[in-house]
């Protein structure tokens, strides 16, 4: 029986797509979607600052493509916008650093014959209450190995350990300033705040410890900006995620980075599915 090739999603990319915050997202969309005048499945509205788009602008886009989902792609300076009353109703909001992981998950859902999140109601039972539900591959355990968690907060360490263990991994808490056996660690999670100098040194020390294992590290930061992401990567982090995070996004990121490490010889982009 001949194989069926799934069509790439059709996307309208409007707004400030040339802003530096969105360079990685735009490259990802050009690689994996058809961007152009055709009727879209999804409209991505890029805005670097609050107020770039008004509700009437979103309404106009919806009238032009009534069957399309709408996602607001937010830049660093949109932090706090949700407290101002400005965001348009019924629009999913994704910061620039959240979008790649979210997009990979939508492509996986489409490839599995399921509706992506933009094509189903927010209350859809497909999403459910399980924080790991909708994470492709959960039936295979999602992830495995041993994951080291570097955080100064006991509650954060225990919350992350619960999520990781539910996804099939072992977790150990690496308390800053204390020695720990990291010989069997396959992945690292580092949690901090704004990544000042002291935190950057702590992150670099953690990444150095895991270099021998070739274990990727994801850094969890408070509302990361481009300059902080650059510092995190210079310190050795493979990726940065913002707080608060979704558990399903964190698990997906671990799966993606772990697979990328295994397939590093193929030199695929950091956001490739």
Contact present, 62 and 84 (Cβ < 8 Å): no
How much is the pLDDT for 261? 63
The yes-or-no verdict on residue 83 having pLDDT over 60 is no
Nearest Cα neighbor of 205 from 237, 243, 157, 173 is 237
> Which strands, in side-by-side order, build the sheet including 217-222?
170-174, 146-150, 187-191, 217-222, 239-243
Q: How many residues does the chain have?
A: 273
Three-class secondary structure assignment of 41-55: CEEEEEECCCCCCCH
Residue 69: closest CA among 43, 35, 32: 43
Across the range 193-210, mean pLDDT stands at 93
| Same fold flag, 10-119 and 138-266 | yes
Q: Kindly give, in sequence order, each residue whose CB lies less than 8 Å from that of residue 254, ignoring residues fewer than 6 positions away.
A: 143, 147, 167, 169, 187, 218
181 pLDDT higher than 50: yes
CB contact at 8 A, 240 and 218 = yes
Task: Count CB-CB contacts under 10 A for residue 5.
Answer: 6
> 108-130: per-residue pLDDT in tens?
999 988 999 888 665 343 443 34
CATH of 138-266, one of 3.10.20.30, 1.20.910.10, 3.40.50.2300, 3.30.930.10: 3.40.50.2300
pLDDT bracket for residue 176 (50, 70, 90): confident
Strands (E), the chain: 10-15, 34-35, 42-47, 69-74, 92-95, 146-150, 170-174, 187-191, 217-222, 239-243
- Give the domain ranges of the chain: 10-119, 138-266
Per cent of the chain over pLDDT 90 is 53
User: In this predicted structure, what is the pLDDT of residue 82?
Assistant: 58
71 Cβ contact partners less than 8 Å away, ≥ 6 residues apart? 42, 43, 44, 45, 91, 92, 93, 94, 99, 118
- 77 confidence band (pLDDT: 50, 70, 90): confident
Q: Taking the domain 10-119, which CATH number applies?
A: 3.40.50
Question: Are 30 and 13 spatial neighbours (Cβ–Cβ below 8 Å)?
Answer: no
Which of these, 33, 25, 84, 235, lies nearest to 150 by C-alpha position? Answer: 235
Distance CA 114, CA 124 (A): 12
If phi > 0 it is left, if psi is from -120 to 50 it is alpha, else beta; for residue 187 that is beta
pLDDT at 121: 61
**pLDDT score of 258:** 86
- Which comes out higher in pLDDT, residue 53 or 85? 53
């Amino acid at each position: 029986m001949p194989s069926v090739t799934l069509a790439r999603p059709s996307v309208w990319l409007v707004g400030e797509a040339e802003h530096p915050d969105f360079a990685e997202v735009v490259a990802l969309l050009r690689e994996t979607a058809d961007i152009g005048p055709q009727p879209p499945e999804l409209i991505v509205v890029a805005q670097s600052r609050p107020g770039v788009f008004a509700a009437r602008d979103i309404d106009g886009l919806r009238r032009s493509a009534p069957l399309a989902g709408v996602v607001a792609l937010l830049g660093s300076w949109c932090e706090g916008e949700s407290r101002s009353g400005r965001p348009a109703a019924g629009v999913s909001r994704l910061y620039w650093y959240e979008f790649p992981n979210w997009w990979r998950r939508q492509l996986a859902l489409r490839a599995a014959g399921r509706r992506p999140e933009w094509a189903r109601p927010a209350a859809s039972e497909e999403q459910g209450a399980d924080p790991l539900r909708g994470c492709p591959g959960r039936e295979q355990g999602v992830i495995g190995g041993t994951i080291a968690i570097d955080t100064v907060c006991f509650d954060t360490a225990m919350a992350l350990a619960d999520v990781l263990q539910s996804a099939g991994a072992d977790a150990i808490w690496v308390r800053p300033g204390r020695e720990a056996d990291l010989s069997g660690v396959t992945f690292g999670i580092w949690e901090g705040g704004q990544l000042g100098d002291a935190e950057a040194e702590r992150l670099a020390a953690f990444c150095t410890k895991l270099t021998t294992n070739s274990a990727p590290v994801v850094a969890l930061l408070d509302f990361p900006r481009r300059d902080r992401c650059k510092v995190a990567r210079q310190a050795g982090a493979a990726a940065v995620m913002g707080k608060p995070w979704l558990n399903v996004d964190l698990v997906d990121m671990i799966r993606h980075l772990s697979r990328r490490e295994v397939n590093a010889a193929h030199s695929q982009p950091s956001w490739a599915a």
